[in-house]
Amino acid sequence: KKSFRVVVLPGDGIGPEVVGEAVRVLEVISAASQDVEIKLEPHDFGGCAIDSTGEPLPPSTLKACQEADAILMGSIGGPKWGVNSKVRPEQGLLALRKALGLYANIRPANFASDSLLANSPLKPSVAEGVNIIVVRELIGGVYFGARQELGAGTDADTAWDTMIYSVPEVQRITRVAGQIALQANPPLPIHSIDKANVLASSRLWRKVVTETLQAEYPQLALDHHFVDSASMFIVASPKKLNGVILTENLFGDILSDESSVIPGSLGLLPSASLAGAPSVADATSPDFKPTAGLYEPIHGSAPDIAGRGIANPVGTILSAAMLLRYSLGLEKYAQAIEGAVRKALDTKTTGGFELRTADLGGSVSTKELGDKIVEIL
Amino acid sequence: KKSFRVVVLPGDGIGPEVVGEAVRVLEVISAASQDVEIKLEPHDFGGCAIDSTGEPLPPSTLKACQEADAILMGSIGGPKWGVNSKVRPEQGLLALRKALGLYANIRPANFASDSLLANSPLKPSVAEGVNIIVVRELIGGVYFGARQELGAGTDADTAWDTMIYSVPEVQRITRVAGQIALQANPPLPIHSIDKANVLASSRLWRKVVTETLQAEYPQLALDHHFVDSASMFIVASPKKLNGVILTENLFGDILSDESSVIPGSLGLLPSASLAGAPSVADATSPDFKPTAGLYEPIHGSAPDIAGRGIANPVGTILSAAMLLRYSLGLEKYAQAIEGAVRKALDTKTTGGFELRTADLGGSVSTKELGDKIVEIL
Ligand SMILES: CC(C)[C@H](C(=O)O)[C@@H](O)C(=O)O
Ligand SMILES: CC(C)[C@H](C(=O)O)[C@@H](O)C(=O)O
């Protein structure tokens, strides 16, 4: 039996509640599997770590993450550690991404279940059939370039940040997008987003994306959109961007959040942040090596509903499925979880259990939904 | 009779067609008015200027714009002068904005007529009642900071741009937002958008916006959102952002385009780019001074339908209304135009003429719609 080590970072707010259900799902898989064993190891991270140690990413947590095969996170942050605090939970997240080299953020924005279409703010005719995967560069660009705070420099009246990209940084994220596009059958088109009519870093981006795909993935369709135009398409005709949206850190932050409201509840959507191209080999093959990755639902810590047991655990459970797929090479278990989630959410008329947590207008609890998914599995 | 000089830049693609109708509207106003005369003066700008002079903003056009009281523009650009050309129409637009100091871009995203709600990609319940005005800083930030192209620097492998803001730049755009908010009755709330959890320039932004409004517009409600979160709200619950969205150049580029699809057709929406706070005094008052400004519809040059006489002229006609309001102090004529547009678009059951150009699923021509608006006026 192969053994994998997964660090669990429950975090703040509803984090521990939703992570609790995803952990149960992983335990069920681990217990049932003939091939693999998944060892789960919880650590403090985010606001709760600030409270207990003074820093959002304590050295012991960082060390555990560095040694782990993959990381499952809940959510971090809350009003207690707001924008004006000196030490903030997000700093821990940015530091963790950088320390582990998690350069590839992958966020699918598609319907966990078609029965949820009615929850989209978009008209059914616009939202139906949307199938977008955002691949965002996560440790470059204006997030990590040199910057100067107001009052800190010689020109005391200004503040600045640097949006910077190197050729290898763009090459490696392009390869991840290429690989994700190829995993689908038929392969997905790639929509690269930039602001090349204004920015030098975007001109580099467009050039490197084009050359890398032409040389290494010539079979993939590629087009380019300006970020302003893409932000319109995502609302007005999102299906035109079906496929892989490939973009830099800041644009990806904005566009992935924008696309994530199409499915109707943020509570449904998972994300992965990888330190390399996703595994294609199966966990049981002799040459298999796990890809380090951090997996988290896209929603925040929702302090307003924390502790009430009503948060939607689906985003975190689907994040656990992505963890099995991309880090641990366990595609079949990933699909099993996704199938179970779909069955729990599908309407009764289509053979599902039609369970609805509060975010979807229902009254099913976090635990009831988790129970049902575990039961189906 | 006061006389105003308005430079007209028809531009490329459908630009000349839509500008033609707005010019007729301004001529009608000029002829009918007892108080003012509007002198219109066409100039080459954009792709057509590249073709005739080699540059998008020829010196004669720039000079005319500098001497004018206001500028009305159509649209520029097209495949002929694409991203890979050395000289591009957008360069002229950026240069013109900078040369005239047009730091305040104002883009209302509200319904020209409620009868068009059905055209929104959002559900009627989500789109109804949306009333957002985006105030975007237009000549600062990453658009105009220092930058380095790939291959140009000592580190040949990278390219970068600088997102930079100074305190006075943020103060002046904040005052414009404050003034726009105060012009409404009751005054509008201000939603300032930044990425202060990551960027130094955003922390400056948030601080200066907060202090300026507290000191000079204490009666206005103010809140702050991160740009990723705002991009979700605009789709999921845009009414939560009703009021004035105040933001920096790049975020404003993205969010104003995103919000502009809510009303269902880009063809409907106007924009203003001002070199100062909008006029409040009436044109006829002795101390009146026009505010320099460039007015243009938000849509592009739409080369695919250019020359066919089917483009929607409403965005440009409403831009002319904004020109009268913000640059020339002619609020009553601005309202007359807006009323005429509404009547032309309103459904027959609500007493309108229900004219629909192709973008709204109809077959009314550019000229027919212009004719009707002129006739109503
Ligand atoms: C918390 C914040 C720094 C972070 C980001 O902007 O990357 C978040 O918005 C995200 O997308 O994961
Ligand atoms: C053409 C381009 C440079 C311009 C911008 O990004 O400012 C356009 O998108 C706009 O918003 O007016």
pLDDT digit string (tens) for A122-179? 999 999 999 999 999 999 999 999 999 999 978 889 999 999 999 999 999 999 999 9
Please say whether the beta carbons of A319 and A337 come within 8 A: no
Written out in words, the top-level CATH class of the domain with range B121-133+144-262 is: alpha beta
Q: Do A158 and B148 touch (CB under 8 A)?
A: no
Annotation says B143 is catalytic: yes
Q: Which two tokens stand for residue B72?
A: 């009305």
A249-305 per-position pLDDT tens digit? 999 999 999 999 998 888 999 999 999 998 777 888 888 899 999 999 999 999 999
Find the mean pLDDT for residues B196-218. 97
What's the CA gap between B102 and B89, in Å, rounded?
Answer: 18
A:B CB pairs within 8 Å: 183
The answer to whether residue B166 scores a pLDDT higher than 70 is yes
Residue B71 has pLDDT above 80, yes or no: yes
Strands B36-42 and B131-137: unpaired
For range B57-76, the mean pLDDT? 97
Residue B178 has pLDDT above 70, yes or no: yes
pLDDT of the residue at B111: 65
Instruction: Judge whether A355 and A368 are in contact, CB under 8 Å.
Output: yes
Catalytic residue among A35, A223, A228, A304: A228
What confidence score (pLDDT) does residue B196 get? 94
Percentage of residues in chain B having pLDDT higher than 70: 99
Q: Under CATH, which number does the domain B1-110+267-377 receive?
A: 3.40.718.10
pLDDT band for A71, please (50, 70, 90 cuts): very high
CB contact (8 A) between residue A162 and residue B160: yes
Q: Which CATH class is domain A121-148+156-262?
A: alpha beta
Which amino acid is it at A327?
Answer: S
- Looking up tokens 């095969």 gives A69
Q: Select from A147, A228, A235 the Cβ nearest to the Cβ of B253.
A: A228
The model's confidence at residue B112, banded by pLDDT at 50, 70 and 90, is low
* CA–CA gap between residue A161 and residue A356 (Å, rounded): 43
Burial class (CB in 10 A: 0-12, 13-18, 19+), B349: exposed
Assess whether pLDDT exceeds 90 at residue B86.
Answer: no
For residues B44 and A199, give the distance between their C-alpha atoms in angstroms, rounded to a whole number: 26
Question: Would you call A157 a catalytic residue per the annotation?
Answer: no
Q: Provide Rg for chain A, Cα atoms.
A: 20
Specify the residue for token string 């109707």. Answer: A264
Phi then psi for residue B139, to 5 deg, are: -130, 30
Q: What pLDDT, on a 0 to 100 scale, did the predictor assign at position B257?
A: 96
Of B83, B168, B256, the CB nearest to A196: B83
For chain B, give the longest Cα–Cα distance: 68
Ligand 2 atom 6, closest CA: B253
Cα–Cα dist A117/A331, whole Å: 26
Q: Are strands A131-137 and A104-110 parallel, antiparallel or unpaired?
A: antiparallel
Q: Which of B12, B69, B143, B372 is catalytic?
A: B143
Q: How many CA atoms lie within 13 A of B191 on its CB side?
A: 23
* Distance in Å, alpha carbon of B187 to nearest chain A alpha carbon: 27
Tell me if B232 CB under 6 Å of ligand 1.
Answer: no
Judge whether residue B155 has pLDDT over 90. Answer: no
Dig out the tokens for A359 from the structure: 């975010």
Measure in Å the smallest separation between the Cα of B138 and chain A Cα atoms. 13
- Interchain CB distance below 8 Å, B204 and A83: no
Which pair of tokens denotes residue A59?
A: 């050295």
CB contact under 8 A, A198 and B126: no
Task: List the one residue out of A174, A227, A168, A163 whose CA is nearest residue A201.
Answer: A163
Six-digit token string for A32:
């049932």
Residue A252 to residue A298: CA distance in whole angstroms: 13
**B90: Cβ below 6 Å to ligand 2?**
yes
The shortest C-alpha distance from B64 to chain A (Å) reads 26
3-class DSSP assignment, residue B223: strand
> Residue B196: nearest ligand to its CA?
1
Whether residue A276 contacts residue B248, with contact meaning beta carbons closer than 8 Å, is answered with no
- Ligand 1 nearest atom to the CA of residue B229, by list position: 9
For the domain spanning A1-108+267-377, the CATH number is 3.40.718.10
AA identity, residue A158: T
Q: Do A1-108+267-377 and A121-148+156-262 come out as alike in CATH topology?
A: yes
Residue B139: DSSP 8-state? S
Nearest atom in ligand 2 to the alpha carbon of residue B250 is: 6
Residue B84 has pLDDT above 90, yes or no: no
- Across the interface, whether the CB atoms of A253 and B204 are under 8 A apart is answered no
Ligand 1 centroid to A253 CA: how many Å? Answer: 7
- Strands annotated E in chain A: 2-11, 36-42, 70-75, 104-110, 131-137, 147-148, 158-166, 190-194, 222-226, 243-247, 270-274, 293-297
User: Is the Cα torsion angle A161, A167, A168, A173 positive or negative in sign?
Assistant: positive
Interchain pair B121, A168: CB under 8 A: no
Tell which residue, A252, A298, A142, has the closest CA to residue B198.
A142
Distance from CA of B196 to the nearest CA of A (A): 7
Catalytic residue among B253, B295, B343, B346: B253
B111 or A127, higher pLDDT: A127
What's the pLDDT score for residue A229?
95
Instruction: Identify whether the C-beta of residue B134 lies closer than 8 Å to the C-beta of residue B249.
Output: no
% of residues, chain A, pLDDT over 90: 87
How far from chain centre, in Å, is Cα B113? 18
Alpha-carbon span A15 to A8, nearest angstrom = 11
Ligand 1, atom 8: nearest CA belongs to which residue?
A: A253
Enumerate the domain spans of chain A: 1-108+267-377, 121-148+156-262
Nearest atom of ligand 1 to the alpha carbon of B198: 3
Residues A218-258: tens digit of each pLDDT:
999 999 999 999 999 999 999 999 999 999 999 999 999 99
Type of residue at B83? V
Of A88, A122, A254, the CB nearest to B231: A254
**What is the layout of strands, in order, in the sheet containing A147-148?**
A147-148, A158-166, B158-166, B147-148
What is the Cα gyration radius of chain B?
A: 20
Question: Would you put residue B172 in left (φ > 0), alpha (ψ -120 to 50) or beta?
Answer: alpha
Of A90, A229, A117, residue with least CA distance to B197: A90
- A257 among known catalytic residues: yes
What pLDDT score does A96 carry? Answer: 97
Cross-chain Cβ contact B235/A122 below 8 Å = yes
**Could you identify the atom of ligand 2 that is nearest to the CA of residue B257?**
11
CB atoms within 10 A of CB B114: 15
Please give the Cα distance from A243 to A180 (Å, whole number). Answer: 10
Query: What pLDDT, on a 0 to 100 scale, did the predictor assign at position B280?
Result: 76
- Environment class of residue A192 by beta-carbon count within 10 Å: exposed (0-12), middle (13-18) or buried (19+)? buried
